[in-house]
Amino acid sequence: MSTYRLDITYDGTSFHGYARQRDVRTVQGVLEAALARAIGPVETTVAGRTDAGVHARQQVVSFGTETTVDVERLIRSLNSLLPNDVAAVACSEVEDGFSARFTALSRNYRYTILNRPARDPLRRSTTWHIPETLDVQAMQHAAGAFIGEHDFASLCRKAEGRSTIREVLEASWVRDGDIVEFRVTATAFCHQMVRSMVALCVEVGRGRVDTGDVVGILAARDRAAAKGAAPPQGLVLWGVGYPVE
């Protein structure tokens, strides 16, 4: 049995998230169907499950197979079999024990807001349009409260039996013209954590929440204390970090 790492990218607009679900279209579903045709049935492990409508610039999966794999040929085969909203970018044989999920050291996400009065139909599937001017400096200050290890129960959809303690390594907001972007890196994220961070910071940027209140919202460890979740289409899994060989 050999283990392989596969890097993919996808537009999440027409998917019901990454994880396989019965009777709905998912990234894992179409990917494993393509892999089955190319090399035989395999079960993939993913670096991070993305929600419906969320995109990935770099998603990483791993799988084991007893089939001898020509990685360059596999990439060509997958890209002929996959739908147009998914692409296989790279494949390599890795050491035994490698897991796209458990070997990963960090995940990096970016969230993009179009901040101007007029919406842009050409960017509707990749941005959240907010017409009123946002105070990005205040949002940057609010994001500073996320850095470090915290219980993010206020900003996560809790899963039974799973911890909501996470370590955020970097979190920042930047403006470039009418684009406002959130960049965040953590060892791992819980469900809807990034989108909830964005929603809370946007309320700060709108002047509806004081910057100083963010620490208290985190400390409350209560989902009702936060401000919901931002729409999915602005979110991209930007990259996954692994140990350097």
Class of domain 2-94: alpha beta
Q: 56 near 11, Cβ under 8 Å?
A: no
Partner residues linked to 179 by β-bridges: 114, 176
151 is catalytic: no
Side chain identity, residue 225: A
Q: What is 106-241's CATH topology?
A: Alpha-Beta Plaits (3.30.70)
pLDDT of residue 162: 86
pLDDT of residue 245: 55
pLDDT of residue 244: 80
Q: Do the domains 106-241 and 2-94 match in fold?
A: yes
Q: 35 near 83, Cβ under 8 Å?
A: no
H-run or E-run covering 35 = helix 27-39
Which of 7, 11, 23, 51 does the annotation list as catalytic?
A: 51
d(CA 25, CA 182): 28
What are the boundaries of each domain within the chain?
A: 2-94, 106-241
Going residue by residue through the chain, which has 245 residues, state the pLDDT in tens, using 9 for 90 and above: 899 999 999 999 999 999 999 999 999 999 999 999 999 999 999 999 999 999 999 999 999 999 999 999 999 999 999 999 999 999 999 999 999 999 999 999 999 999 999 999 999 999 999 999 999 999 999 999 999 999 999 999 877 778 999 999 999 999 999 999 999 999 999 999 999 999 999 999 999 999 999 999 999 999 999 989 999 999 999 999 999 85
Burial 55-78 (b: 16+ CB within 10 A, else e): bbebbbbbbebeeebeeeebbebb
Side chain identity, residue 115: N
For 145, half-sphere exposure in the C-beta direction (CA atoms, 13 angstrom radius) is 22
pLDDT of residue 15: 98
DSSP string, 132-200: SPP-HHHHHHHHGGGSEEEE-GGGS---TT---EEEEEEEEEEEETTEEEEEEEES---TTHHHHHHHH
pLDDT of residue 153: 95
Beta strand pairing call for 235-241 and 165-176: unpaired
